[in-house]
Amino acid sequence: KDFRNNVKPNWCPGCGDFSVQASIQRAAANVGLEPEQLAIVSGIGCSGRISGYVNCYGFHGIHGRSLPIAQGLKMANRELTVLASGGDGDGFAIGMAHTVHAIRRNIDMTYIVMDNQIYGLTKGQTSPRSGEGFKTKSTPSGSIETPLAPLEMALAAGATFVAQSFSSNLKQLTHIIEEGIKHQGFSLINVFSPCVTFNKVNTYDWFKENIVDLETIPDYDPSNRIQAMTKLMETDGMLTGIIYQNKTKPSYENLVTGFKAEGLAKQDMKLSQADFDKLVAEFK
């Protein structure tokens, strides 16, 4: 099971997204998937390229729309393991409405956000995750907006799996992605993934100084939603680990009625080869 392909990523040397790519590849192998059992749908941004850098099905979608595509894919073929991925601009700005509703809908899939707190692909503008006072070309006097708190938002929206990790911690990140894939519902994994080219504030060293690993908190119980919210607020959202998991809520596809248990991809469409060829010819 080799999830590496021969496409050379064109991320800048040192970009945090390399570790996310490696962690996805390792996690997929560790949970026993074959490449044809995994699909990655991505949005737009530097991180959006990841769907082409893993040996599996890949779909590079449009800006902020990886989640509706990924959810449709999962409903159509429930045997696929579906990952969606993108950056904080993609998921928490233009795609925010999809993010909130995907969280509360709880379809069985995993969403990995590569959170670098800036827009990298467009050469460094303030994102919804940039801190107050953050200076870029779009906020030359410093951002005056409050940065979004995505994990608190996810908990409030009814998330069943909320986790956070850091590109420098490959072991933890791989483990969290494995657990996200195994979780029966929607998993949100926010990854601090530094942009070494444009973000000179939230650097690897900055994260190392500010991250609070859940393993350092005695008796932390990830099934306790109130404790999860409290600890996130106490640490200004800098917790890493599996912050919250509800293992009892069934996923959307297990609750919805009126659909066949198997997705469209597994249903007999009663279409002969001749009918199929005719359809294809019509759309040529």
The residue (of 38 and 44) whose beta carbon lies closer to ligand SF4 is 44
- For the bound state, the minimum distance from the C-beta of residue 66 to ligand SF4, rounded and expressed in Å, comes to 17
Q: Which is nearer to ligand SF4, 101 or 123 (CB)?
A: 123
- CA geometry: angle 148, 104, 228, nearest 5 deg: 55
Binding segment toward ligand SF4, per CB under 6 A, in 114-122, 160-168, 259-267, 272-280: 114-122
Directed axis angle between helix 17-30 and helix 170-182, to 10°? 50
Q: Nearer to ligand SF4 by C-beta: 11 or 57?
A: 11
- If binding is defined by CB under 6 A, does position 244 make contact with ligand SF4? no
- Using DSSP's 3-state secondary structure scheme, residue 275 falls into helix
- Taking the complex as a whole, how short is the minimal distance between the CB of residue 117 and ligand SF4, in angstroms? 10
Residues contacting ligand SF4: total by CB under 6 A: 12
* Euclidean distance between CA atoms 239 and 164, whole angstroms: 7
CA 136 to chain centre: 25
Residue 198 found at the interface with ligand SF4 (CB under 6 A): yes
- Binding of ligand SF4 at residue 22 (CB under 6 A)? no
Q: How far apart are the first and last CA of the chain?
A: 36
DSSP classification of residue 268? -
The single residue among 58, 86, 89, 120 that binds ligand SF4, judged by CB under 6 A, is: 120
Using CB under 6 A, which of 37, 55, 77, 197 touches ligand SF4?
A: 197
Residue 46 binds to ligand SF4 (criterion: CB under 6 A)? yes
Pick from 84, 155, 188, 195 the residue near ligand SF4 by CB under 6 A.
195
Instruction: Verify binding: residue 122, ligand SF4, rule CB under 6 A.
Output: no
* Secondary structure E strands in 174-268: 186-192, 212-213, 239-245
- The reply to whether 92 sits near ligand SF4 by the rule CB under 6 A is no
Sign, CA dihedral 21-25-28-30, equals: negative
Q: Is 88 exposed, middle or buried (0-12, 13-18, 19+ CB in 10 A)?
A: buried
In the shown chain, the binding pattern of residues 201 to 240 toward ligand SF4, with x for contact by CB under 6 A and - for none, equals: ----------------------------------------
Q: Which of 5, 12, 131, 135 binds ligand SF4 (CB under 6 A)?
A: 12
Q: What span, in angstroms and rounded, lies between the C-alpha atoms of 46 and 52? A: 12
The four Cα atoms 98, 50, 244, 91 give a dihedral, to 10 degrees, of: -30
What is the length of the chain?
A: 284
The answer to whether residue 18 forms part of the interface with ligand SF4 (CB under 6 A) is no
- The yes or no reply on residue 27 touching ligand SF4 (CB under 6 A) is no
**Residue 246 is a binding residue for ligand SF4 (CB under 6 A):** no
User: In whole angstroms, how close is the CB of 105 to ligand SF4 at the nearest point?
Assistant: 29
Closest to 214 in 3D by CA, of 245, 185, 193: 245
Which among 60, 37, 64 is positioned nearest to 48, based on CA atoms? Answer: 60
User: Applying CB under 6 A, which part among 165-173, 190-198, 243-251, 268-276 lies near ligand SF4?
Assistant: 190-198
Binding residues (CB under 6 A) for ligand SF4: these are 11-12, 15, 17, 46, 116, 120-121, 195-198
